[in-house]
Structure 1
Amino acid sequence: MRPDDVDVLVVGGGPVGLTVAGDMARSGRSVTLVERRPRSSFSRPAVATQARTLELLDSRGLADALLETGDPMPAVTLFRDARLELSRLRSRYPFVLITSQTDVDRVLGRYAFEHGATILNRAEVIAAEQDDEGVTATVRPTDGGEARTVRARYLVAADGAHSTIRDVLGVGFPGRSVLSSLVLADVKLTDGPTGTGLVLGSAPDCFGFLVPYGRWDDEGAWFRASTWDRNRQLPDSAPVARDEIASVLIRAMKRDVGLVDVGWRSRFHCDERQVDAYRVGRVFFAGDAAHVCSPMGGQGMNTGIQDAANLSWKLDAVLGGAEDEVLDSYHDERYPVGKSALRRSGVMMRGVTLEPRLARVARDLIASRLLGLRRVSDLLAGNFAGTEIRYARRRGQHPLVGTRATEVPLVGKRLTEVQRRPGFVLIRPRNSGPVAAAEVVRVERTDDGPALLVRPDGYIAWAGTPTDGGWVEELRWWTGVRAAVVPR
């Protein structure tokens, strides 16, 4: 095996690529990550980490470190008095965590590095070809140094909306631009919203979205602002003026929020796009390389990290001897989730930008009444946070298959702590006899539910009684390993 031969080559060093690289290294696979920028130069727009993403980070021992960097927000204020409550989420994290994506990158970067992933910054993939055995990529330093060849069993393209790997392989990115001249900026306000979580304000000709982060001092507090002005449509390259931001915030929030300073700022356009196939041979697309959507709802980064968590354990399983069709389930499971995220954020974006007065009045009334219904509000909150995601089950499987097991109460540690050791987990019924099986971690639940076989990403693969052998066959299908079981 040559020095540059690896199990997995990851292209893109954002949170999606770092999650894959860290997971593969944690599982003992050789992995190289290529990122064209130096780590210190990253400027990341996302500020919202959702509950399901925090659960996945907790299963890697990372959630507590990220929680220290931000503030939990238990609600999102939408149109007028319509408020999306997150405090009732069935999760250890009943909130959205407001923290810079730079902090997410830092936590995941340390995870990948400490587990032994090779990270090449200031490098880019300029060519890639695949065959039946693997992918051959040409990697070149961005300073123009000598290129080298990396041979990998699989390649994960996590290189963003303008993916080089998509271009190199000729993979289309169907969709369209839906909103132009959006502005993101860090703003300091003397009279910004307090105690209301994330706040959206809109008028017929503009909207403003404020996400608080940092602490208040004598001069105010910092917010991440997203603004849009129907009458000021400029190319992405146009500079963002302070007065432009101030004007939109005053009109959208219906008052002067006291803009005193503007830090980082950027103008961009919003696309809704998704690749037709998340898998192309031995190449997999994840995160923004697979799907991009409106920033409304904070779905992009979170959906991408969840893509990575779904893919990485399947790569490990197939590298360990599982059938190749296990990798097909990545597209089968994550494509619908990506499509749903596009639809969710798109509906919110189109609702915010409504212009006719009667349509806006109707929007406010409908949103307020719907979110006033607890059952509807809780379902929408779960979709927003990712905790209601479920994957399709095969005919005849238990209704719990495809749902997440994170909140199943266990004797001793919680499931996300148990899962810090990679692999499947067998949850035994309460007061049932132990099952000896070297291939899985065994734990006992404290409620009256059935036995569960839980995948490494926290979703249920099988449910039933541990003595019927069904979980053994399910484990074999996913991993290629038939458990040696000795009932006691």
Structure 2
Amino acid sequence: MDIHTEVLIAGAGPTGLLLAGDLAAAGVSCTVLERRTHESNLTRAFAVHARTLELFDARGLAEELLGTGQRLRRLRLFGDAQLDLGRLPTRFPYLLVTPQYHTEAALTRRAAAAGARIENGAELTGLDQDPDAVRATVRGPAGTRTLRARYLVGADGVRSGVRTALGIDFPGHAAVQSVMLADVRLAEQPPDVLMVNADGRAFAFLAPFGDGWYRVIAWDRARQLPDDAPVDLAEIATLTREALGTDFGMHDARWMSRFHSDERQATAYRSGRVFLAGDAAHVHSPAGGQGMNTGLQDAANLGWKLAAVLRGAAPEALLDTYQAERHPVGAEVLRTSGALLRGALIGAGPRLVARNLVARIATGIPAVNDRLALRLSGIGTRYPAPAGAHPEVGTRVPDLPLRAAAGGPDRLYAALRSGRFVLVAPDGPAPIEPPAGWAGSLTTAVRADGRPGSLLVRPDGHLSWVATDAGTPPPVSLAATLPAPDRTAGAVPAA
């Protein structure tokens, strides 16, 4: 059978673009189908969390993206309660506020430069698969054709045609309805990068695009209308004044709409040779700004696994770990964002007063603040370790300092730009000799923090193996690091 592309990706949002860039950089041929012919303004994320910035750093994109937005070290939750992100154990102890189109632009340039093919105006309308390949029916400007691929990834959003074609359930409910959006100019500059508050009836959120335009989101508990109901800027301004104390002189709306936000998760992230990622797999309330970030982390998890299997460096069983690792993370994000949303939309009265008091006291306790910051930022996400493995296996590895040699990387996340596993060994007289079974899949480095022990770090920055004894040899191959299938099911990530 002729294979037109090794991996076919439906959807050129952030999730699909990061995945395409990772695959193409690894030498895997991939094609991205995007039904849009122009940029959509309907749902745009503004928050790039610390863990996502680490993943961008491992791809050489972090500095570029940091130049497009503003850094927020304290995130306002309810009333006067603020989450201190400056305590996060990372090079990026903040939230980056930047419009999603900056993220997409950086990822598009990287994917295209690496050789990924991106087709706009192309929509997947059907698929079937056998043990060897997936056949996708694609409708585009030139008509309908069939593409064959080894694997297919549906990153095509909440209304995913891939998920529908597979018949995978997407249970959940509408978390909030009749939310109004508008892009506006302001006569006065807000005092904070992000402005957000709810007073029991009115909710308002304000974020900058960085070019003089602002996105405003408003909600009225007493006025719940269908998505197609018209939106009036005067109503949005009134709600903003009630929630934030002022509307900052908003005027000249260039776009307005109304939508509802769902909380849903696919029952399975994989069916045979087809995978789901991003909003096609899970959709959350906007509270906490985790939606886009979770999808990007799906892609970072799946990309290196597909590349390893396609290049013969790992058995097909590696792909089973995608569901085992990412489905529990999606469920946890649903719980966290849902709790934040319900807290934000509490009605007026004693419950509102209690919410503000409890939130202020809780975030003032360093241990509680840190736990929530780790969870929201993604820094605290860990994957299940095989039985008998070191307890730190599965955790995210910080950006360790390395002993640079001949102009090589001087820290871990720079070394991860190779897209390979990184074997980090303690400083010593003998050179590091990677096992023969890792040929082409492993980069070696020497830690410069003076600590003993060796680490094997996955391409997505999570710990695969650790040894405290310098004489313990690393796993003989990638396959040797895989857990038994029955040890991956039902794992729950730690916050």
Answer yes or no: is the 8 Å Cα contact 1:78–1:199 preserved in 2. no
Query: Which of 306-315 and 58-67 deviates more?
Result: 58-67
Answer yes or no: is the 8 Å Cα contact 2:399–2:413 preserved in 1. no
Q: Which of 153, 161, 164 does residue 164 from structure 1 map onto?
A: 161
Residue 207 (structure 1) aligns with: 203
Q: CA deviation at 1:96?
A: 1.0
CA distance in 1, matches of 2:429, 2:152: 43
Confirm whether residue 301 of structure 1 aligns to residue 292 of structure 2.
yes
Residue 16 (structure 2) aligns with: 17
Map residues 460-475 of structure 1 onto 2, 5 A cutoff: 460-464=463-467, 465=469, 467-472=471-476
Confirm whether residue 456 of structure 1 aligns to residue 459 of structure 2.
yes
Q: Which of 442, 445, 464 does residue 444 from structure 2 map onto?
A: 442
Query: Which of 205-214 and 72-81 deviates more?
Result: 205-214
Q: CA deviation at 1:67?
A: 1.4
**Structure 2 alignment gaps of length 5 or more:** 405-409, 484-495
CA distance in 2, matches of 1:60, 1:21: 13
Query: Which of 156-165 and 259-268 deviates more?
Result: 259-268
Query: Which of 197-206 and 70-79 deviates more?
Result: 197-206
CA distance in 1, matches of 2:416, 2:470: 20
Query: Which of 41-50 and 237-246 deviates more?
Result: 41-50
Query: Which of 334-343 and 197-206 deviates more?
Result: 197-206
Answer yes or no: is the 8 Å Cα contact 1:135–1:153 preserved in 2. yes
Residue 222 (structure 2) aligns with: 231
Post-superposition Cα deviations, 1:312-370, rounded to whole Å, max 9, x if no partner, equal: 10011111221221111001110111111111110011011111411111110110001
Answer yes or no: is the 8 Å Cα contact 2:76–2:83 preserved in 1. yes
**Structure 1 alignment gaps of length 5 or more:** 216-220, 480-488
**Counterpart of 1:306 in 2: which secondary structure?**
helix
CA distance in 2, matches of 1:208, 1:431: 57
CA distance in 2, matches of 1:12, 1:461: 30
Residue 395 (structure 2) aligns with: 403
Post-superposition Cα deviations, 1:18-53, rounded to whole Å, max 9, x if no partner, equal: 111111111001111111012445655111111111
Residue 426 (structure 1) aligns with: 423
Partner amino acid for 2:235? E
Q: CA deviation at 1:248?
A: 0.8
Q: In the superposition, relative to structure 1, how do residues 474 and 136 fare at CA in structure 2: closer, same or farther (>3 Å)?
A: closer
Q: CA deviation at 1:473?
A: 5.0
CA distance in 1, matches of 2:52, 2:261: 23
Post-superposition Cα deviations, 1:99-134, rounded to whole Å, max 9, x if no partner, equal: 111111111111111111111110111110011111
Residue 380 (structure 2) aligns with: 388
- Please give the TM-score of this superposition, normalised by the length of structure 1: 0.92
Aligned residues: 470
CA distance in 1, matches of 2:132, 2:302: 19
Q: CA deviation at 1:406?
A: 3.1
Partner amino acid for 1:396? G
Query: Which of 389-398 and 285-294 deviates more?
Result: 389-398
Answer yes or no: is the 8 Å Cα contact 2:70–2:193 preserved in 1. no
Q: CA deviation at 1:434?
A: 2.0
Partner amino acid for 1:421? S
**Counterpart of 1:298 in 2: which secondary structure?**
coil
CA distance in 2, matches of 1:185, 1:73: 23
Post-superposition Cα deviations, 1:206-249, rounded to whole Å, max 9, x if no partner, equal: 2112224427xxxxx54322211112211112222111110110
Answer yes or no: is the 8 Å Cα contact 2:452–2:470 preserved in 1. no
Q: In the superposition, relative to structure 1, how do residues 148 and 269 fare at CA in structure 2: closer, same or farther (>3 Å)?
A: same
Q: CA deviation at 1:159?
A: 0.2
Q: Over the residues paired in the alignment, what is the CA RMSD in angstroms?
A: 1.9
Q: Which of 295, 317, 330 does residue 325 from structure 1 map onto?
A: 317
Partner amino acid for 1:459? H
CA distance in 1, matches of 2:482, 2:113: 28
Map residues 63-102 of structure 1 onto 2, 5 A cutoff: 63-102=62-101
Residue 335 (structure 2) aligns with: 343
Query: Which of 27-36 and 86-95 deviates more?
Result: 86-95
